[in-house]
Structure 1
């Protein structure tokens, strides 16, 4: 059960990250330069959430 949950979380986060990068790549050249910081920020948030999700699962498994 926990393996399924972990796999689904990782797949979900990867899909969101890929979607964000695809949307960021479809902008016009002027907007792309301005949106670079936003893309970096969103990617950092996804990385942080991924670390929290994995840590949460580890804590959950440890205390069961």
Structure 2
């Protein structure tokens, strides 16, 4: 069984803010990196693993 590591356990300085939409718009993920670069990811139809890889590659 895999242990799920929460972001604050693996990186105490990481901040996660969740905002849920109730309309029919696309699923968007906004990421702000330590460098100040902001990225908006359209997560519609993208596997979570691909999103994680994208964030890790840019971070």
Give the alignment's TM-score, normalised by structure 1.
0.28
For the pair shown, the structure with the greater C-alpha radius of gyration is 1
- Higher strand share goes to which structure? 2
- Higher helix share goes to which structure? 1
Higher relative contact order (CA 8 A, sep 6+): 1
Give the alignment's TM-score, normalised by structure 2.
0.29
